[in-house]
Structure 1
Amino acid sequence: MGEQMDFDTLFKFINELSDHIDLDAILRDAEALCICAGENGAACIPPGTPPSLPVDNGSLYPQPNDVL
């Protein structure tokens, strides 16, 4: 197998990625996947996983039809 990364190397790698990830797109995709998974997806979440932050309209991001 490949070389194993130590914590410091992995941490540096992740920090360097932070300037290259489109966070808004990732979170929109993650939200869409959660909506599609529905109750079956919720049943797959391991016990003890911290809850998500509550949102008023059920969506973390404005949708195309939302009025701001």
Structure 2
Amino acid sequence: MGEQMSFDTLLKFINELRGQIDLDAILRDAQALCICAGENGAASIPPGTPPSLPIDSGLLYPQQDDVL
């Protein structure tokens, strides 16, 4: 059996990724995959999976343009 990663090791790994991931590109790719998968993709999502943003909103994530 493989060795389990400790929480501290996982946290260190995640912290080292900070600033290295192009979140906009990942979200665009994820949205494109969801659209391509369509109903077949939706049918393959396991029961109990948390909901995501609706794809018909046109937004991948909320915009925060309103600065006071």
Flag whether TM exceeds 0.5 (same fold). Answer: yes
CA–CA separation in structure 1 for the residues paired with 2:51 and 2:60: 14
Cα displacement string for residues 27-48 of structure 1 (whole angstroms, at most 9, x for unaligned residues): 0000000000001111111110
- Stretches of structure 2 that go unaligned for 5 or more consecutive residues are 62-68
Inter-CA distance 8–2: structure 2 relative to 1 (3 Å threshold): same
Question: Match for residue 13 of structure 1?
Answer: 13
Question: Match for residue 28 of structure 2?
Answer: 28
Aligned residues with identical type, % of pairs: 84
CA–CA separation in structure 1 for the residues paired with 2:10 and 2:59: 32
Q: How many residues align?
A: 61
How far off its partner does 1:15 sit? Answer: 1.8
> TM-score scaled to structure 2, two decimals?
0.71
- Stretches of structure 1 that go unaligned for 5 or more consecutive residues are 62-68
CA–CA separation in structure 1 for the residues paired with 2:24 and 2:41: 22
Larger RCO (alpha carbons 8 Å, 6+ apart): 1
More helix by share: 2
What RMSD, in angstroms, separates the aligned Cα atoms of the two structures? 2.3
Inter-CA distance 29–55: structure 2 relative to 1 (3 Å threshold): closer
